[in-house]
Amino acid sequence: MADVVHSSIETISLAEARALVVAGRVSAAALAEEHYERIAAVDPEIHSYLALTRERAMLQAEKIDAAVKAGDPVGALAGVPVGIKDVLTVKGVVTTAGSKILEGYRPPYDATVVRKLEAAGAVVLGKLNCDEFAMGSSNENSAYGPVKNPRALDRVPGGSSGGSAAAVAAGLCVASLGTDTGGSIRQPAAFCGVVGVLPTYGRVSRYGLIAFASSLDRVGPFARSVEDAATMLEVLAGADEMDATSSHEAVGSYVAETKKGVEGLRIGVPEEYFGEGLNAEIRAAIEKALDGLRAAGCSIHKVSLPHTKYAVPTYYVIATAEASSNLSRFDGVRFGLRSKDATTLAAMFRNTRDEGFGAEVKRRILLGTYVLSAGYYDAYYRKAQQVRALLTRDFVQAFEKVDAIVAPVTPTAAFKLGEKTDDPLQMYLEDIYSVAASLAGICGMSVPCGVTAEGLPIGVQVLGKHFDEATMLRVGAAIEAGQGPA
């Protein structure tokens, strides 16, 4: 078998990588090894990986190569090198969720999504850097140092799945897994110029995901094209007996859907997403994408999502409340860090959490504990759940008139490292266009749609009805096709 052509590794698609392996033109082992060589050369500057799983990867690659040589059937991801966000468990591999409190923790089981990827033939290269416990919009909250945007090293890659987006953008894996609680797949995808998919809540199993906010957390893929993301989603989607919130809704043939046209589809444009604060270059790029959809046969309609202005505060009440509850399990007793500076049990709890959690995680635990406390629960948490129902209703009513919604992902392109770290409120406002879809449980994706005058990537957000990933991917593929050569 031949080796991989070095010049193509940064841009090789999932379909191309699999085809090379299945045709015997390159071995899965050689493909993995070339990615490890590139990681060694490029990643010290980007810092997208926290741990490499070389031994496991090479065993999987050799298994794929043996199957190809024997003429046995192989999966949809045969030989494809992938990375896994460090909030997803991989058996025996250090899994930290970007936090010191889990430093050195090796889980005894694989997340369902990891098991599904490997069953389809994927080769897991390692664990990817992220904001601590997936809390952040810039990947600067990782206890192990920030990730840099490979498109501009002085910029953030977005968060919390910054390592997952950066690794795909930099050619350090062909595809990756991230998680999205309030925008953590879509925003990094937009900042790094790759495709990122937020599946409907319940579409993909959360078993093995270290929880931030359980009613919001979702696992989804990053890839270099809509078709590649669809291939990943087809593998990942489906019910899981280990996750009671996973849905038994039928899984579509997502790859086939990306090849369908969009003629006759009705596209909604929410007026609330195009107001003050949206960067002019991003607005122009999205309008150009809408022009492309018109040319492809879509009709464009204004829609209203009237409760949008309440989305950010609602999200930061609900998400922090759930985080406060979920993170109470990290106490120094069962796993991870245990403070050595304690003489009583209470002091051990307190000191472990003080030493192990970073500033942003502590801030959100405090906020969440406050809104759940006696006397404030009704005023904040219950009220936020009521507003969440209104936000969901906004989308349901809009989707009675349109097949998909197109909007910005972020108000700006990637900002500079350190630019917003001293102002949490400004950082939270980065989620202004993404959290409503998270609260409503619908599906969404970010598709590259141009660059700014400074050469920074711009993403456009496509939102779909509950469990209608098929239409969302069709629209995403049409936008991608309308971009032409880069």
Q: Which helix (H) or strand (E) holds 448?
A: strand 443-451
**What would the mean pLDDT of 94-98 be, rounded to a whole number?**
97
pLDDT beyond 80 at 10: yes
Measured in whole angstroms, the distance separating CA 269 from the mean position of its chain's CA atoms is: 23
Cβ–Cβ under 8 Å, residues 18 and 178: no
Mapping DSSP to helix (H, G, I), strand (E, B) and coil, where does residue 449 land?
strand
| Other Cβ atoms within 10 Å of 133 Cβ, number | 31
Helix 359-372, helix 311-326: angle, nearest 10: 100
Strand partners, 145: none
The tokens of 87 are what? 């909030």
* C-alpha to C-alpha distances, 271 to 96, 268, 274, 278, 406, nearest whole angstrom: 40, 9, 6, 12, 11
pLDDT beyond 80 at 353: yes
Residue 379 falls inside a structural domain: no
Whole-number pLDDT of residue 342: 86
Sheet holding 443-451, edge to edge: 49-52, 123-128, 81-85, 175-180, 218-223, 195-198, 443-451, 457-464, 404-408, 266-270, 299-303
Residue 428 falls inside a structural domain: no
* C-alpha to C-alpha distances, 216 to 34, 179, 206, 399, nearest whole angstrom: 36, 10, 11, 21
Give residues with Cβ within 8 angstroms of 300, minimum separation 6: 267, 269, 290, 293, 294
Whether 299 sits among the annotated catalytic residues: the reply is: no
Cβ–Cβ under 8 Å, residues 321 and 371: yes
**What would the mean pLDDT of 80-88 be, rounded to a whole number?**
98
Whole-number pLDDT of residue 483: 83
What is the extent of the structural domain holding 162? Answer: 6-258
pLDDT beyond 70 at 419: yes
| pLDDT tens for each residue of 421-449 | 888 878 877 889 999 999 999 999 999 99
pLDDT beyond 70 at 174: yes
Residue 460 falls inside a structural domain: no
Catalytic residue (one of 160, 205, 434, 438): 160
Cβ–Cβ under 8 Å, residues 89 and 95: yes
Residue 367 falls inside a structural domain: no
Catalytic residue (one of 27, 48, 138, 184): 184
Cβ–Cβ under 8 Å, residues 75 and 119: yes
- CA separation for the pair 148, 166 (Å, rounded): 8
Whole-number pLDDT of residue 486: 45
Give residues with Cβ within 8 angstroms of 283, minimum separation 6: 274, 408
Strand stretches in 199-235, DSSP E: 218-223
Residue linked to tokens 């409340």: 321
- CA separation for the pair 159, 380 (Å, rounded): 26
Catalytic residue (one of 27, 48, 85, 137): 85
Whether 184 sits among the annotated catalytic residues: the reply is: yes
Cβ–Cβ under 8 Å, residues 355 and 143: no
Give residues with Cβ within 8 angstroms of 209, minimum separation 6: 87, 88, 89, 111, 179, 217, 219
Give residues with Cβ within 8 angstroms of 196, minimum separation 6: 161, 165, 178, 180, 185, 186, 188, 189, 190, 220, 221, 222, 229, 445, 446, 459
| pLDDT tens for each residue of 220-264 | 999 999 999 999 999 999 999 999 999 999 998 999 999 999 999
Helix 226-236, helix 469-481: angle, nearest 10: 160
Whole-number pLDDT of residue 3: 55
In this prediction, residue 1 has a pLDDT band, given cuts at 50, 70 and 90, of very low
Give residues with Cβ within 8 angstroms of 386, minimum separation 6: none
Whether 434 sits among the annotated catalytic residues: the reply is: no
Is residue 160 reached through a cis peptide bond, with omega within 30 degrees of 0 on the bond before it? yes
Whole-number pLDDT of residue 161: 98
* C-alpha to C-alpha distances, 60 to 29, 56, 266, nearest whole angstrom: 8, 6, 44
Domain count along the chain: 1
Residue 263 falls inside a structural domain: no
pLDDT beyond 80 at 7: no
Cβ–Cβ under 8 Å, residues 150 and 46: yes
Residue 302 falls inside a structural domain: no
**What would the mean pLDDT of 347-363 be, rounded to a whole number?**
95
Whole-number pLDDT of residue 273: 96
Residue 289 falls inside a structural domain: no
Residue 440 falls inside a structural domain: no
- Identify the CATH number of the domain in which residue 38 sits: 3.90.1300.10
**What would the mean pLDDT of 195-210 be, rounded to a whole number?**
98
